[in-house]
Amino acid sequence: MESGTRINKFAGAHNFPKFVQEGAAMYHELRKVGTKLTDDIRTWVLGIETTCDETAAAVVERRSDGAGRILSNIVHSQTEEHAIYGGVVPEIAARAHVDLLDGIVERAMKDAGIGFAQLSAVAAAAGPGLIGGVIVGLTTAKAIAMVHDTPLIAVNHLEAHALTPRLTCALAFPYCLFLASGGHTQIVAVIGVGQYVRLGTTVDDAIGEAFDKVAKMLGLPYPGGPEVERAARGGDAARFTLPRPMLGRDDANFSLSGLKTAVRNEAARLTPAEPQDIRDLCASFQAAVLESTADRLAVGLRLFEARFGPPRALVAAGGVAANQAIRGALQDVAAQAETTLIIPPPALCTDNGAMIAWAGAERLALGLTDTMEAPPRARWLLDATAAAPEGYVNTRAGF
């Protein structure tokens, strides 16, 4: 394996021997004339993810032409730790991160076949997320950065989801992102690294959250999203008439809580609910989510085009993008908007370390590193200028 080049370390070149300074100066000159030499510069970044119930670490490589490669990607899902509670218990998650993270980082480095001294930077998700877990990951990254004198990058977890398609298929900006996870449902114009404009958001529950809650009310095991999808496969989507929230509105916002309540009401009438009832209800719920999502995204893509011109692609990211039925529905939306649909492989849609490492590598390439003061954040908007949708200022949604 070729050795990674720690380009970031040349930033303060005055302390280096003369031949290194001259080499750095020559490199910058050659960059100006666009030489192919830059293609040989590689950065290796360790990424740490602990914002929810995945303890994950990965090493990715980024070449200066923007191409990415995953060298290792270790994910431990704390499903077993939380299953008996039917959802993530923040304190248990934080303690599990403490117990697991060191070993997972060690495995990620071993699988990548490199030592800490060869890293160009260490990145950690610094939020948004469950604050106990965020503190564990960020503090670990700070310790590694300090001990190995390597730059630290405090990554926004949502930005990491947003940039993942650039790791998997070298997508150019700008593109339209549909981010659907357990905590967020947003349509975002991705203009560049660190440049995001939110076009739509949920005014109450996130889509993943709605899947999880529906699973719980129907007695399906945790985590609920994949269970609802599985049950829906054997169900009749036409059996229950459920609302299609926000359908036909000219903004691109989502609402899930009314649909969730409608499912609860139907479930209450089915006592005892037979397995086929549950499959039918899951299928009806998923069909309603799909129809509402397709409508909201069609509007989002129109808003995107009006402000930024045609997007290079419609990208879906976040755990919900692992849902095969949603993938199918998005295909139609993209085709109607005459754009390409890009969805990273399921393992890169759900939380993982590679997406954090990649966002770190993208930021490092722009010189965007952080100090030891970088704070852990429970809330962290991707678009700092985004306000709550009109009429929904006092709801509990995490805009």
**Which option in ligand KG4, Zn ion, none does residue 226 bind, with CB closer than 5 to 8 A by kind?**
ligand KG4
- Least Å distance, CB 114 to Zn ion, is 26
Q: Reduce the DSSP state of residue 6 to 3 states and report it.
A: coil
- Least Å distance, CB 160 to ligand KG4, is 10
- Least Å distance, CB 45 to Zn ion, is 18
Q: Between residues 295 and 351, which has the closer beta carbon with respect to Zn ion?
A: 351
351 near Zn ion, judged by CB under 5 A: yes
Residues lying near ligand KG4 in the complex (CB under 6 A): 52, 181-183, 208-209, 211-212, 223-226, 229, 318-320, 322-323, 350-351
Binding window for Zn ion (CB under 5 A); candidates: 114-122, 125-133, 175-183, 232-240: 175-183
**Which option in ligand KG4, Zn ion, none does residue 339 bind, with CB closer than 5 to 8 A by kind?**
none
204 near Zn ion, judged by CB under 5 A: no
Token match 């790791």: residue?
Answer: 167
150 near Zn ion, judged by CB under 5 A: no
Q: Between residues 105 and 349, which has the closer beta carbon with respect to ligand KG4?
A: 349
- Least Å distance, CB 150 to Zn ion, is 25
Q: What is the DSSP letter of 270?
A: S
Residue 96 CA to residue 238 CA, distance in Å, equals 42
**Which option in ligand KG4, Zn ion, none does residue 223 bind, with CB closer than 5 to 8 A by kind?**
ligand KG4
Residue 128, preceding peptide bond in cis (omega within 30° of 0):
yes
- Least Å distance, CB 67 to ligand KG4, is 25
Tell me which long-range contacts 388-397 makes (C-beta under 8 A, separation of at least 24): 389/201, 389/203, 389/251, 389/253, 392/203, 392/253, 395/203, 395/204, 396/204, 397/201, 397/202, 397/203, 397/204, 397/205
- Least Å distance, CB 113 to ligand KG4, is 27
Q: How many helices (H) and strands (E) does the chain have?
A: 12, 10
**Which option in Zn ion, ligand KG4, none does residue 320 bind, with CB closer than 5 to 8 A by kind?**
ligand KG4
Q: Between residues 109 and 130, which has the closer beta carbon with respect to ligand KG4?
A: 130
Residue 77 CA to residue 80 CA, distance in Å, equals 8
Do the Cβ atoms of 229 and 346 come closer than 8 Å?
A: no
Residue 10 CA to residue 297 CA, distance in Å, equals 44
Which ranges of the chain does DSSP label H, i.e. alpha helix? 18-32, 79-83, 90-112, 131-147, 157-169, 207-217, 224-233, 257-269, 275-308, 324-336, 346-349, 353-365
CB atoms within 10 A of CB 169: 13
**Which option in Zn ion, ligand KG4, none does residue 242 bind, with CB closer than 5 to 8 A by kind?**
none
Binding window for Zn ion (CB under 5 A); candidates: 131-139, 262-270, 282-290, 343-351: 343-351
In 3D space, the residue among 203, 230, 228, 235 whose CA is nearest the CA of residue 214 turns out to be 228
**Which option in Zn ion, ligand KG4, none does residue 301 bind, with CB closer than 5 to 8 A by kind?**
none
Binding window for Zn ion (CB under 5 A); candidates: 134-142, 181-189, 359-367, 388-396: 181-189
274 contact partners, CB below 8 Å, separation of at least 6 = none
**Which option in Zn ion, ligand KG4, none does residue 208 bind, with CB closer than 5 to 8 A by kind?**
ligand KG4
Q: Which of 50, 55, 140, 181 binds Zn ion (CB under 5 A)?
A: 181
